Chain A
Amino acid sequence: MTDLGLPALRSGTESVPTTDEKQTGKDFTSDQEVRWCPGCGDYAVLKAVQSFLPDLGLRRENIVFVSGIGCSSRFPYYLDTYGMHSIHGRAPTIATGIATAREDLSVWVVTGDGDALSIGGNHLIHTLRRNVNMTILLFNNRIYGLTKGQYSPTSETGKVTKSTPMGSLDHPFNPVSLALGAEASFVARTIDSDRKHLTSVLAAAAAHRGTSLVEIYQNCPIFNDGAFDAIKSPDTKADAIIPLVHGEPVLFGAQLEDGRGAKALVRDEETGGVKVVATADVPAEDILVHDAHNPDPTMAFAISRLTDAGYLNTSPIGIFRQVQRPTYDDAAREQVATASTVPGNDDAADRSARLAALIGGGDTWTIL
């Protein structure tokens, strides 16, 4: 597993029971036939998740996958864990209930760009702001697949689809920018076809205590084929992918003689953001060193803006932000625990007696 250079924090799966039994991807594979289109990027993600889950060493019965509606949302059916295929856009709400109710569960949400950003946009931002302990895998194929090819909230403006024969008019969301704006504590982006990177991001996301938002670029071969070719093709990907590694200078493009990438990120004094320059043109100390742990999300946001809003030619990939802050579910359980241990409330088994006292309280009178 790639060492992402993260400090030891309270783990996202710390309260989840572990097992010493040897697990394999097969243990996490259900008996249901997978029914995505041939060539769909979802297969690669499923395979990666199935083979990654044993690495967590958690008891299988303590893992829950929740999804909404869309192609990717069939995901839970193919995993032999607990799961719920819920309704359009609402998976984060259901996962919030599960995660708050049960500290001993590892909770995952599988969603798509339409599910998470269109019909479920409100739930996504509020879950991120609350920082409920769960990992959200946002499969972004920049198209509506299950309803057969309408543009999505991440489709580039001008996209010609069945519902937009003259081109779409909407300006798209950048999911990473949105998540950072909602003050998400963990935001990453990865690619369906890069198993190694995908797995490393999943590991970091699962280890993070709080809401981890992982955008996964995922190709839809039927309705939006080639949307991510630039970052996948061996010919172009060196220039297309801006790799983010905590503590490392942000360099990409063809290798220079010294082994560094030919392009670098530096602060843009004019805009206050960041810009791409030729590595050779700037002093090494000016090159941005990625700091995913910066409590201020400003720089992460600036980096996220380097993602093309139109057809994808350039995109930062990796962990944009990982900071620790209190989680909603921990705090909610803490309040219940505190209230349950105040004098008079300390006998959880004796709720009946306390109930009798509660309903018999206030100003009462007796009729004989």
Chain B
Amino acid sequence: MVAPEKEVKQLDRVIIRFAGDSGDGMQLTGDRFTQETAAFGNDLVTLPNFPAEIRAPQGTLPGVSSFQVHFADHDILTAGDAPDVLVAMNPAALRANLGDLSKGATIIVDTHDFTARNLTKAGYTENPLDGDTLAEYALHTVDLTGMTIEAVKEFGLSRKDASRAKNMFALGLLSWMYGRPTETTNAFLAKRFAKVPDIRDANIAAFKAGWNFGETTEAFVVRYEIKPAKMAPGNYRNITGNLALSYGLIAGGVQSGLSVFLGSYPITPASDILHELSKHKGFGVTTFQAEDEIAGVGAAIGASFAGQLGVTTTSGPGVALKSEAIGLAVMTELPLVVVDVQRGGPSTGLPTKTEQADLMQAMFGRNGEAPVPIVAPQSPGDCFAAAVEAVRIAVTYRTPVMLLSDGYLANGSEPWRIPGLDELPAIDPDFATEKNQGSGDDAEFWPYLRDEATLARPWAIPGTPGLEHRIGGLEKGDGHGNISYDPANHDFMVRTRQAKVDRIASSLPPLEVDDPTGDAKVLVLGWGSTYGPIGAGVRRVRKAGYHVAQAHLRHLNPFPNDLGEVLKRYDKVLVPEMNLGQLSLLLRAKYLVDVVGYNEVRGLPLKAAVLADVIGGLVAEAEGIDIDLTPASIQQESHDD
């Protein structure tokens, strides 16, 4: 209920960032706010951001963990460039995030932690809450911790345990401000802390107290309303990329009738896929936590040889270790799905930050001519369909497939329209059961006789009588598959393996190009998680009255058959990437098109506003006009990112 004296303002979109120490429960707070928002029916996109250290020194800048959620009454594509609201649980959280805020943004700080010691730890020489350094923002100083302790005192918790519920107080306050439904959070807390009634009750009480504080205090005079978004009909749930990808692998198993075998070694940010799949053994899923990355892929290859669906999940450093084994899967032509949840590199790099700099590794990171198909999801929910597609290609073409997700997709979330199973492709393992060469008593099984359409070889699994055969990493003679050192045969086999991968393109739909009027001279082409920011940047340019086309690649190898023709239709092609131009390099090499790269490797998603400027500049150049993208020239006041 809203107190009558509070004003209610209508907004079409809001970006909120919860920030605190990595022990403050900010990821949980953000996740709960997201679930409430999903239940309310807004469109949303989230951006968790946390340190690689499990518990960096308390109160320091490296220990700051944050969760950003962007929600709107219309469809949005990114987690937003600049937060409208920052909730800062300590001085370090304020300092680490202040630079990202736009002027006029709302800041809510927990004053309790603004002690001299914490200010020093965060690098403040003066308390920023005292002077006028925050004058350009709408600052709310609230003793969140103090009020939380007061609210939960009836449960007899220690002061430390009581103060830990402060994140729920903050969540309650924000839930009130934005009119979020509270049922899901109450139900969640009741379930999560079912075994510790004191903690459960304290968290629920803190959550309620936060809500009531908003309603009664004079410090907050305005509530905001963001109406539910109009979205395509269907059943929805909020989902992260790693969860969607896990479900996609299970779906690939169900659709192919194969048991999924995951061989994996824990690595950030891919481990959650191992955790998730290990919960679903009821689908015939085996999860093998191996002694290292190589054993993970080795066991997956073994399982594929034995007739299961071998999968291995990792991040860039793990792919490096698996390279030789992936080459073996190329040579033995066995189905294998290699999931690379990309993170900042090289070497250990930025384990918890996003990047898309493993494209070249996926494409060429093996000895010899070892082509591997590459599939990339474009949003968290899309990880489901991309995983199913990777399974389809791996099984149909008897080949390892790289599935290139990234840290942003893995941990970010969005509402996902739950697909019907009839929307999924049927996948046929088509195991070999008969000898395929010669006849009568002389009949033999040749493991490298190929299907004429797909060039796939027969998959004959142990236990099939009469089809006993040996495969391995040594070059095969065409057809019979015995070891061959013949020069002409090697040349032929190298070309044939390449041709098989190239042929996958004929099973792909034409590239979808979004060019509403057909007047665009500039095409923006991307892949992977840049889909959202690119789409948002394109919208801004179009809203300002200019023409620009957008296309996004699901398949990086092989490219869709019509890609070259699409590229040649446009005067300028912009390729934004979170690397130094890896897709650009491939496009230039293959199509001799002088694409323009926009490249950032900051460990964060690209920003829509920045991309809009870059696109605008290119449109100006291509069309010989002046471009004005300032808000005044934009028809709507706010951007539909």
Partners in one complex: yes
Interface residues, chain A, CB within 8 Å of chain B? 17, 30, 32, 59-64, 66-67, 69, 76-77, 79-88, 90, 93-102, 104-105, 122-123, 126, 332-333, 335-336, 338-340, 342, 345, 348, 351-352, 354-356, 358-368
B392 vs chain A, min Cβ distance (A): 16
* Residues of B close to A352: CB separation below 8 A: 254, 421
**Is the CB–CB distance between A82 and B302 below 8 Å?**
no
Alpha-carbon gap, A367 to B39, bound state (A): 11
Contacts A59-B465, A367-B233 hold; do A348 and B302 have CB atoms under 8 A apart?
Answer: no
**Is the CB–CB distance between B324 and A340 below 8 Å?**
no
A sample of 7 cross-chain residue pairs with beta-carbon separation below 8 angstroms, ordered by A number, consists of A76-B470, A76-B472, A84-B470, A100-B261, A105-B306, A358-B247, A359-B418
Interface size on B, residues (CB 8 A): 74
Contacts A101-B261, A355-B283, A364-B418 hold; do A93 and B462 have CB atoms under 8 A apart?
Answer: no
**Is the CB–CB distance between B298 and A100 below 8 Å?**
no
* Residues of A close to B378: CB separation below 8 A: none
**Is the CB–CB distance between B254 and A93 below 8 Å?**
no
For the complex, is B250 an interface residue (Cβ under 8 Å from A)? yes
Alpha-carbon gap, A332 to B260, bound state (A): 13
Alpha-carbon gap, A82 to B334, bound state (A): 14
Residue in B281, B300, B301 whose beta carbon sits within 8 Å of that of A336 in the complex? B281
Among the 9-residue stretches B12-20, B127-135, B289-297, B517-525, the one with 4 or more Cβ atoms under 8 Å from chain A is B289-297
B379 vs chain A, min Cβ distance (A): 16
A226 vs chain B, min Cβ distance (A): 31
**Is the CB–CB distance between B261 and A77 below 8 Å?**
no
B230 vs chain A, min Cβ distance (A): 8
A292 vs chain B, min Cβ distance (A): 27
**Is the CB–CB distance between B303 and A97 below 8 Å?**
yes
**Is the CB–CB distance between B483 and A364 below 8 Å?**
no
Residue in B231, B284, B292, B296 whose beta carbon sits within 8 Å of that of A340 in the complex? B284
For the complex, is B328 an interface residue (Cβ under 8 Å from A)? yes
Q: Which 7 A-B pairs have the closest CB atoms?
A: A97-B302, A93-B298, A85-B472, A97-B299, A339-B281, A94-B302, A345-B282
**Is the CB–CB distance between A97 and B38 below 8 Å?**
no
**Is the CB–CB distance between B288 and A96 below 8 Å?**
yes
- B window 406-427: CB within 8 A of A: 418-421
Q: Which residue from chain A places its CB closest to the CB of B444 in the assembled complex?
A: A31
**Is the CB–CB distance between B418 and A77 below 8 Å?**
no
**Is the CB–CB distance between B421 and A85 below 8 Å?**
no
For the complex, is B259 an interface residue (Cβ under 8 Å from A)? yes
- B window 227-277: CB within 8 A of A: 231-239, 247, 250-251, 253-254, 259, 261, 263
Residue in A60, A99, A354, A366 whose beta carbon sits within 8 Å of that of B282 in the complex? A354
Alpha-carbon gap, A360 to B237, bound state (A): 8
For the complex, is B325 an interface residue (Cβ under 8 Å from A)? yes
**Is the CB–CB distance between A355 and B250 below 8 Å?**
yes
Contacts A61-B468, A82-B469 hold; do A90 and B298 have CB atoms under 8 A apart?
Answer: yes
**Is the CB–CB distance between A86 and B283 below 8 Å?**
no
Residue in A77, A88, A94, A365 whose beta carbon sits within 8 Å of that of B470 in the complex? A77
Contacts A90-B325, A93-B294, A97-B299 hold; do A85 and B462 have CB atoms under 8 A apart?
Answer: no
* Residues of B close to A351: CB separation below 8 A: 253-254, 283-284
Could you give, for residues 26-61 of chain B, a 1 whenever the CB lies within 8 Å of some chain A CB and a 0 otherwise? Answer: 000000000100110100000000000000000000
Alpha-carbon gap, A83 to B332, bound state (A): 11
**Is the CB–CB distance between A66 and B470 below 8 Å?**
no
* Residues of B close to A62: CB separation below 8 A: 462-463
Could you give, for residues 381-396 of chain B, a 1 whenever the CB lies within 8 Å of some chain A CB and a 0 otherwise? Answer: 0001000000000000
Identify the interface centre among A30, A76, A360, A363: most chain B CB within 10 Å of its CB.
Answer: A363
B394 vs chain A, min Cβ distance (A): 15
Alpha-carbon gap, A352 to B426, bound state (A): 12
* Residues of B close to A332: CB separation below 8 A: 286, 288
Alpha-carbon gap, A119 to B238, bound state (A): 45
Q: Which residue from chain B places its CB closest to the CB of A96 in the assembled complex?
A: B299
Residue in A77, A82, A122, A342 whose beta carbon sits within 8 Å of that of B462 in the complex? A82
**Is the CB–CB distance between B39 and A365 below 8 Å?**
yes
* Residues of B close to A63: CB separation below 8 A: 462
Alpha-carbon gap, A64 to B304, bound state (A): 13
Contacts A102-B307, A345-B282 hold; do A364 and B470 have CB atoms under 8 A apart?
Answer: no
Contacts A84-B470, A335-B281, A336-B284 hold; do A365 and B301 have CB atoms under 8 A apart?
Answer: no
Contacts A340-B282, A366-B234 hold; do A98 and B254 have CB atoms under 8 A apart?
Answer: no
Residue in A79, A85, A96 whose beta carbon sits within 8 Å of that of B474 in the complex? A85
Contacts A87-B473, A93-B302 hold; do A355 and B421 have CB atoms under 8 A apart?
Answer: yes
For the complex, is B401 an interface residue (Cβ under 8 Å from A)? no
For the complex, is B184 an interface residue (Cβ under 8 Å from A)? yes
Contacts A96-B299, A336-B284 hold; do A84 and B471 have CB atoms under 8 A apart?
Answer: yes
For the complex, is B280 an interface residue (Cβ under 8 Å from A)? yes
**Is the CB–CB distance between A94 and B299 below 8 Å?**
yes
* Residues of A close to B324: CB separation below 8 A: 87-88
A95 vs chain B, min Cβ distance (A): 6
Residue in A69, A81, A100, A348 whose beta carbon sits within 8 Å of that of B288 in the complex? A100
For the complex, is B466 an interface residue (Cβ under 8 Å from A)? yes
Apart from A84-B305, A84-B332: 10 A-B pairs, beta carbons within 8 A: A80-B468, A81-B468, A83-B470, A96-B295, A97-B310, A102-B306, A126-B290, A355-B250, A362-B237, A367-B236
**Is the CB–CB distance between B236 and A366 below 8 Å?**
yes
For the complex, is B118 an interface residue (Cβ under 8 Å from A)? no
**Is the CB–CB distance between B286 and A101 below 8 Å?**
yes
Could you give, for residues 552-592 of chain B, a 1 whenever the CB lies within 8 Å of some chain A CB and a 0 otherwise? Answer: 00000000000000000000000000000000000000000
Alpha-carbon gap, A64 to B310, bound state (A): 18
Residue in B290, B327, B462, B474 whose beta carbon sits within 8 Å of that of A102 in the complex? B462
Alpha-carbon gap, A33 to B466, bound state (A): 20
**Is the CB–CB distance between B468 and A60 below 8 Å?**
yes
**Is the CB–CB distance between B238 and A97 below 8 Å?**
no
For the complex, is B467 an interface residue (Cβ under 8 Å from A)? yes
Could you give, for residues 449-477 of chain B, a 1 whenever the CB lies within 8 Å of some chain A CB and a 0 otherwise? Answer: 00000000000001111111111111000
**Is the CB–CB distance between A95 and B302 below 8 Å?**
yes
Q: Which residue from chain A places its CB closest to the CB of B290 in the assembled complex?
A: A93
Alpha-carbon gap, A350 to B464, bound state (A): 26
Alpha-carbon gap, A104 to B332, bound state (A): 22
Identify the interface centre among B231, B328, B463: most chain A CB within 10 Å of its CB.
Answer: B463
* Residues of B close to A363: CB separation below 8 A: 35, 38-39, 184, 237-238
